[in-house]
Chains A and B, each alone.
Chain A
Amino acid sequence: QKEVEQDPGPLSVPEGAIVSLNCTYSNSAFQYFMWYRQYSRKGPELLMYTYSSGNKEDGRFTAQVDKSSKYISLFIRDSQPSDSATYLCANCYSSNDYKLSFGAGTTVTVRA
């Protein structure tokens, strides 16, 4: 069993829709939870990170972590064609940890 499971999609939504992305993880020792965005032929870029359970909002993006159910989510409001990318969830154990465990990524297409 992989440490981080992510629905690979693909996901296609019309412009302006809310995009909902989810991951589950198996190791309760994970403390930090990240979302990376990867455009085609590019390296991943850090979008958001959260520590412990709760919500974090940044503009049109909201990250949620539920440590009791080992479930992390990313919501994109008012989606734009420029949001079309692969979204990768990632976890690490502590603030000293450097070894990120990534999900497989969900490919999102926002149709104009």
Chain B
Amino acid sequence: DTGVSQNPRHKITKRGQNVTFRCDPISEHNRLYWYRQTLGQGPEFLTYFQNEAQLEKSRLLSDRFSAERPKGSFSTLEIQRTEQGDSAMYLCASSLESSGTPYEQYFGPGTRLTVT
């Protein structure tokens, strides 16, 4: 199965530590998205890449968050100086620009972050 993969699946960290998550999109997909989902809520958009260019960042993405997509392949999301409020599921999704249906996003299983 060549779906979207995310690592790690779970991360427990202490407040103040830095964490980094990785997302590997479907290989031919040139668009990549990061969302955050808290318990009982739907995913909230964080940021979007087209190839290697980060084209939009949500106001939810504070200065402690940074995302990269070197060479337009995998992406990383780093959170510096984690806070308890960062505890959530971080979802990555990808889509194909030429499909004409950008809303048809394929999600990975997510990385669940717990900040203690």
Interface centre among B40, B48, B95 (most CB of A within 10 A): B40
Contact between A102 and B44, CB atoms less than 8 A apart: yes
Interface residues of B in 9-44 (CB under 8 A from A): 31, 33, 40-44
Q: How far is the CA of A44 from the CA of B44 in the complex (A)?
A: 12
CB distance from B57 to the nearest CB of A (A): 11
Secondary structure at the B interface, as helix, strand, loop or mixed, is loop
Interface size on A, residues (CB 8 A): 27
A-chain residues with CB within 8 Å of residue B42 when the two chains form the complex: 4, 6, 88, 90, 102-105
Q: How far is the CA of A35 from the CA of B91 in the complex (A)?
A: 17
Q: How far is the CA of A98 from the CA of B56 in the complex (A)?
A: 10
B-chain residues with CB within 8 Å of residue A44 when the two chains form the complex: 43, 91, 107
Contact between B107 and A100, CB atoms less than 8 A apart: no
Contact between A49 and B107, CB atoms less than 8 A apart: no
Q: How far is the CA of A99 from the CA of B55 in the complex (A)?
A: 11
Contact between B43 and A102, CB atoms less than 8 A apart: yes
On whether A34 and B103 interact (CB within 8 A), knowing A98-B48, A104-B42, the answer reads: yes
Interface centre among A4, A34, A98, A104 (most CB of B within 10 A): A98
Interface residues of B in 29-80 (CB under 8 A from A): 31, 33, 40-45, 48, 56
Q: Is A46 an interface residue (CB 8 A)?
A: yes
CB distance from B50 to the nearest CB of A (A): 9
Q: How far is the CA of A45 from the CA of B109 in the complex (A)?
A: 10
Interface residues of A in 89-112 (CB under 8 A from B): 90, 92, 95-105
Contact between B100 and A95, CB atoms less than 8 A apart: yes
Q: Is A59 an interface residue (CB 8 A)?
A: no
Q: Is A32 an interface residue (CB 8 A)?
A: yes
Given contacts A36-B107, A43-B93, 6 further A-B contacts (CB under 8 A): A43-B91, A44-B43, A90-B103, A98-B31, A98-B95, A99-B45
Residues of B in contact with A (beta carbons under 8 Å apart): 4, 31, 33, 40-45, 48, 56, 91, 93, 95, 100-110
